[in-house]
Copies of this chain bind each other. A is one copy, B any other.
């Protein structure tokens, strides 16, 4: 998996400016990149950032030159960058080879497409469908009637319950459970009687889901994770939640039942969202916030309960200065008393 700058230039058919000998060991954004990294400049307005980047090679638009930097000029730097990453990625996931391990238990009426890799002790239940090129590591469970699209990647010990649907290029990390029953009860004479959870979960294309995540099946209907959304570890998504496209949901977030989340929403770590809300497109919820009201598109909120970001920062500044304000109040009280005292004497 040794790859040099020159190899990358060739892969993306770009014009290399500078030496091509150095080995590239990873990819990152301009800011985060370290020596050995490939990065890219999509928009010429970020040239100053590119000039300060520690990346060892930067993909740039045809007209751009960065003095003193090794660059590769291409028509579409962002597309070229994705292409290189995919190349890296393809090598990274080659630890499981195509074929079905003899200990995997595949139901007779399950459908296994071509170029599929299924590891030891995997169980594929009746009527399940595994699409072309999908790879399933050891100890994973594919429930009755569950369907994986093409080129999905399931790490060891993933559980997909019955009738779940995964699109193409979905990655799921170990220990994650998709399609567990939603948490729904009716209280009858003080006892909680279970409401059957007979809906499903739909995971669209290019979703990645971290380790030990839980996504519950809908009561009826469906829980949805939209295309391109990336979910970190230990996240909980309750029944009937709808998450839009290209969202980022960071570790230990919890989303309660029937909440609707738009596209390009960011939920930072340990955020909690109450049920039956609407979070608009592009909203950003800062870490540990508790969201109990719907959030408009583009809004940034913070706190528990969450406030718009500017107000939240102001509120926090006030809170951290409460000592000062309380002293001010007590000082004013004294001074008012003094004035009142004098006033009483004067009259």
Interface residues of A (CB under 8 A from B): 25-29, 34, 36, 40, 42, 78-79, 81-82, 85, 88-89, 92, 95, 103, 105, 119-121, 123, 125, 137-139, 141, 143-144, 155-157, 159, 161-162, 171, 173-177, 180-181, 183-186, 188-196, 198, 206, 208, 210-214, 216, 219-220, 228, 230, 232-234, 236, 238, 246, 248, 250-252, 254, 256, 264, 269-270, 272, 274, 287-288, 290, 292, 304-305, 307, 311, 314-316, 318-320, 322-323, 325-326, 328-329, 332-333, 335-336, 339-340, 342-343, 347
Q: Is the CB of A230 within 8 A of B192?
A: yes
Q: Is the CB of B251 within 8 A of A233?
A: no
Question: Do A316 and B305 form a contact, CB below 8 Å, given A159-B157, A343-B342?
Answer: yes
Residues of B contacting A213 in the complex (Cβ-Cβ under 8 angstroms): 212
In the docked arrangement, what's the CA distance between A156 and B81, Å?
Answer: 40
In the docked arrangement, what's the CA distance between A271 and B105, Å?
Answer: 41
Q: Is the CB of B288 within 8 A of A304?
A: yes
Q: Is the CB of A82 within 8 A of B188?
A: yes
- For this chain, the copies found in one complex come to 3
Residues of B contacting A195 in the complex (Cβ-Cβ under 8 angstroms): 26-28, 85
Q: Is the CB of A138 within 8 A of B141?
A: yes
Q: Is the CB of A251 within 8 A of B236?
A: yes
Q: Is the CB of B304 within 8 A of A196?
A: no
* 30 A-B interface contacts by CB (under 8 A): A26-B196, A26-B198, A28-B184, A34-B220, A40-B188, A42-B188, A42-B189, A78-B189, A95-B143, A121-B139, A123-B139, A155-B180, A174-B177, A175-B214, A177-B211, A180-B233, A183-B250, A192-B230, A212-B214, A214-B233, A251-B254, A270-B272, A274-B287, A304-B304, A318-B322, A325-B325, A329-B332, A332-B336, A336-B339, A339-B340
